[in-house]
Structure formats: structure tokens, C-alpha cells
Amino acid sequence: MPYLVPDRSARSAGSRLRSRLAEDTLLVMPGAHDGLAALQAKRAGFEALYLSGAAMTASMGIPDLGMITPDEVAFFTRTIARAADLPVLVDIDTGFGEALNVMHAVRTLEDAGAAAVQIEDQVLPKKCGHLDDKRLADPRDAAAKIAAASRARRDLVIVARTDAAASEGLDGALARARLYVEAGADAIFPEALTSVEMLAAFAEAMPDVPLLANMTEFGRTPALTAAELQAMGYRMAIWPVSSLRMAAKAQGRLYATLAADGTTRALVPEMLTRAELYDLIDLPAYEALDAAIVATVLPGDEG
């Protein structure tokens, strides 16, 4: 369906996500780093998407160190939410500053169509949660940002991520998570838990709070299946950078092949065909919409 004709009765993205999180089953949120990825994820049957800071920045050709602005994230959010019309959880790193910056970001991203934002408790420059030597914010400063986000949102779901497991252990991460829930977080993302036992212990210690598990590849957390995470009590799981990793690998092969062969001929069988691409972006429906509007507006020939 062309996005140009909105469903005026549709509920806000945040309230749709809240209703889904009230269900018992784990919500699998694959990363979608652009609008086309969002369409493909929707076609595969996913009900919600994750907009990863790592994938967003990598797609801009820069590292994930918290350098980008709320408006840049809003552009990606709008693109993805519009393409798929699915709830999107948006990674806003450390919230672009302190309380007022977080509030500005929350308003900007909720207006852009985000269903949820994720704020983490590192200080700038932040890093991928699976790297060494992360520096954490004071727990109360981080809680203040969660409180600020909660004050600024309309329906947006707030996911508080704690990176504390690496430096403060499981108990430190749990203490921070409890503080963030008190400050207004709707869900907790315990980042970079390093074993199945740790994942299970975190879930046992917080049975009443929706928890998110990060299944990023090449990280420190063991790769579990959606079914395994659900059995442990997790309510959301993300595969944040997978779409970008797959697409970028294929892209790399394309450039190497074209540089070597002077033609893309060898790769054509692996490419989306013209028909497949147009089908994915729904070109015929947009053309039909245009034709229908023109037919409505122009007077008939009969005079």
C-alpha cells in the first residue's frame, strides 16, 4: 500500500508497541538499516523493527561513537517507520546530551514515527557495548535522562540500556536497571551479558519488567534462538546489525567483481531483478493511485 494514503484510524506507533509487549510471546525485532530492508523484514513477517545506531552510522560510513544528531536519526526513523508501517525501536545512544537534549530528541523522534527509544548509560564518546573500556555515567545522571525521556514522551516506549555488566557485574547492572525502572523506563536492555547463565539470572531477578536481549553477531553475548530467549522470560530480542552486515558483504563483492571483470555479468543471477525490486517497493500501486487521482480530478471526455 502506498504510504501516501494514511490510515487515519491507526493508533500511534508507541501504543501499538505497548499492546504487543503486553502479549506473552517474545517480540523479534530485526535491524532494518534502510527503507528497503524495512520492507523486506515486513514481508518476511516481522511485527516490529530495530533501528541500530551501529548500522545507521556504518551506513553513513562512520563509526558508532555517538557523533550523529537527533535530526539525522529522525531522517532514518521516518524512512523506516514510513516504509514498513511497523513499530520501530530507535537507538538514541546516550540521548545526545543531558536532560533537555534527551527531551528534545524524544519529541523529535516520536514526531518522526518512532514507537520506542533506547537510551544507554555510557558517557561520550560511547562505544559498541561489546568492546572493552566502556565508561559509564553516574547511575543517578543516567536515571535523570530516563526521567527526562519519560516526561517528554506521549506514547513512546522507553527502553533503558545498561552497559554496567562489564564493569560492575550482574548485581551492578541489576541495581542500575531497578533505578532506571523507578525513573520511568518501560523496559530494560542489559547489554553484553556474557553467558547463558547471566542472561537467565538477569531475567530471574527482574520477572516483572520487559527485558530485551541483544543477539548482535560477533559480540560477547552467546547467540540464542528466539525460542530460547522466550523460555528464559525475555520479551524482546534484536538482531541489530545483521541486515547491514549481509547487504554490505554482497555490496563488497559487487564492487570487487566490477573492478576486476569490468562487468557485473557474473553477479546478475544473484541480483534482485527489476520486477522483484518494483514489486518490493510497490511501484504498480503508486502508479495506480496516481492514475485514480488524475481520473477523479480531470473532467470526463463526454463534455
Ligand X SMILES: C[C@](O)(C(=O)O)[C@H](CC(=O)O)C(=O)O
Q: Which residues bind ligand X (CB under 6 A)?
A: 52-55, 64, 91, 128-130, 214, 216, 219, 240-241
Is the CB of 18 or the CB of 134 nearer to ligand X?
Answer: 134
Taking the complex as a whole, the smallest distance from the CB of residue 67 to ligand X amounts, in Å, to 13
Candidates 81, 40, 98; CA nearest to 276 is 40
Are 29 and 46 within 8 A, CB to CB?
Answer: yes
Residue with smaller CB distance to ligand X, 14 or 50: 50
Nearer to ligand X, 30 or 139 (CB): 30
| Cβ distance to ligand X smaller for residue 55 or 256 | 55
Shortest approach of ligand X to residue 213 CB, angstroms?
A: 11
Residue 225 · residue 36 · CB < 8 Å: no
Smallest distance from ligand X to CB 241, Å? 5
Measured in residues, the chain has a length of 303
Which residue has the CB atom at the shortest distance from ligand X?
52
Q: Rounded distance, CA 3 to CA 132, Å?
A: 42
Round to whole Å and give the CA distance between 18 and 87. 10
SS3 sequence, 182-194?
HHCCCEEEECCCC
Cβ 263 to ligand X shortest distance, Å: 35
Q: Are strands 236-239 and 27-30 parallel, antiparallel or unpaired?
A: parallel
State in angstroms the smallest separation of the CB of 49 from ligand X: 12
Beta carbons within 10 angstroms of residue 168's beta carbon:
16
**Measured from the CB of residue 188, what is the shortest distance to ligand X in angstroms?**
14
Alpha-carbon gap, residue 235 to 196, rounded angstroms: 16
Q: How far is the CB of 20 from ligand X (least distance, A)?
A: 20
Nearer to ligand X, 54 or 203 (CB): 54
Rg (CA), the chain: 21
Scanning the structure block, which residue is given the C-alpha cell 549481509?
246
Residue (53 or 139) nearer to ligand X, CB = 53
CB of 68 or CB of 263, closer to ligand X: 68
| For helices 242-261 and 35-43, angle between their N-to-C axes, nearest 10 degrees | 120
User: Based on CB atoms, which residue is closest to ligand X, 65 or 281?
Assistant: 65
Q: How many angstroms separate the CA atoms of 35 and 272, rounded?
A: 16
| Grid coordinates of 37 | 530492508
Residue with cell 527509544: 117
Residue 296: all three cell numbers together: 477523479
- Cis peptide leading into residue 210 (ω within 30°): no
Q: How far is the CB of 172 from ligand X (least distance, A)?
A: 18
